[in-house]
Amino acid sequence: MADQPSDWLSKLGNLLVPSSSQPKTNPVATVSNTRILNELVASFQDSVPRESVGKSMLFNAHFLIILHPDTYEARQNAFPVIVNEAVNAFTTFIESQKSNYERVVPVAANWFFKFGGGREFGGEPVTPTDVKVVGALTGILPGNDPAQSPDRIHVTRRVKQTNRFEKVDIDPNTFQHIDFREPGAFVVKFTFSTPAPTTARPPAGAPATRHAPGLPRSLGAGLAQINHYIAELNKEDSYLMRDREIVVARKEPDNQHFPNYLLLESAYVSNPHARIRYNDEMQAFQIASFSRNETRVNEQLIPRSEPASPQWYALPDQAQILLNSMVTLTFQRHD
């Protein structure tokens, strides 16, 4: 009988000299930013034919992205970029589907994304290689007061590891093991393209009304319009900026008597949170942030300064201001 190397001797050799054909693997590295993005886009695209009715296009606008805690830590710095890419992909897909529908009628007012880390979801373990996306038309806010939470949340999710998505009812207690950190929450205003409004022309011979270039119209007409959306309340409203400088703050009794305060009913807003002013010399708007939590303008982080010594930063004529990842201000300068 020909001599053959014994099995135990071969194993011993591998222990003494590890084989180069057995590279070490990093389980977190298997979940790339692109993988998370692709799961989000797939969940959204699947919702369009399922949720749309007749000639009205509906789709999921609220998403929970559940990752293993190690994956969450490894990928959290890329979340804003993933959200931005996802919104771009959603918008492109909506445009490509408009020939099949007459109207785009989302139920929500904004895109809402919330990332969380957990080791278990729905009775199943969450591993470092898992990306679980839960989508809904609107209203996914885990962590609410249980007394105010519904008994069931109507959502869609991928069925195990298949490419099939199904509409299911989930008990809110399913989310109790997920750590949904507020820095992992993002709200993005819808920016669907709409036909340009037609403006009435003055009759022939009528005098043209002009104002000095670079200056806003009268204070009574407002220097700017600020629409705001509060995610935890799913509430939106608008504010007309008539003063040259305003303060953005949390709505509290002590602030009620200030006429130039934009008061927001949200625990995620600091008191004060920021100031917005019109700089006559520069003929431009500026913003200063005082919050220890994040303030972003068009996704750019605004460094914090002290209220007594504000550091001013340029505020574009059209801008999205995100307060603590939960309150969205849409700023629009008036000409």
Per-residue confidence at 150, pLDDT binned at 50, 70, 90?
low
Distance CA 330, CA 262 (A): 13
State the pLDDT at residue 220: 54
What the block records as the tokens of 144 is 């609410």
CA distances from 233 to 139, 148, 222, 249 (A): 9, 12, 27, 17
Q: How far apart are CA 61 and CA 33, in angstroms?
A: 20
Span 229-251, mean pLDDT? Answer: 89
Q: Can you tell me the mean pLDDT for 289-293? A: 91
- Tell which wins on pLDDT, 41 or 153: 41
Q: Which helix (H) or strand (E) holds 299?
A: none
Residues linked to residue 318 through DSSP beta bridges, in sequence order: 332
Mean pLDDT, residues 229-245 taken together? 88
The single-letter code of the amino acid at 132 is K
Give the pLDDT score at 135. 93
163 pLDDT exceeds 90?
A: no
Cα(331)–Cα(227) distance, rounded to whole angstroms?
7
Report the DSSP pairing between strands 235-241 and 300-301: unpaired
Q: Rounded to an integer, what is the distance from CA 112 to the centroid of its chain?
A: 5
Examine the pLDDT at 260 and tell me if it is beyond 80: yes
In this predicted structure, the answer to whether residue 201 has a pLDDT above a threshold of 60 is: no
| pLDDT tops 90 at residue 129 | yes
Task: Say whether pLDDT at 27 is over 60.
Answer: no
Give per-residue pLDDT as tens, 74-113. Answer: 999 899 899 999 999 999 999 999 999 988 988 877 788 9
Which pLDDT score is estimated for 181? 67
Assess whether pLDDT exceeds 90 at residue 335: no
| pLDDT for 245 | 92
Structure tokens at 214: 């670079």
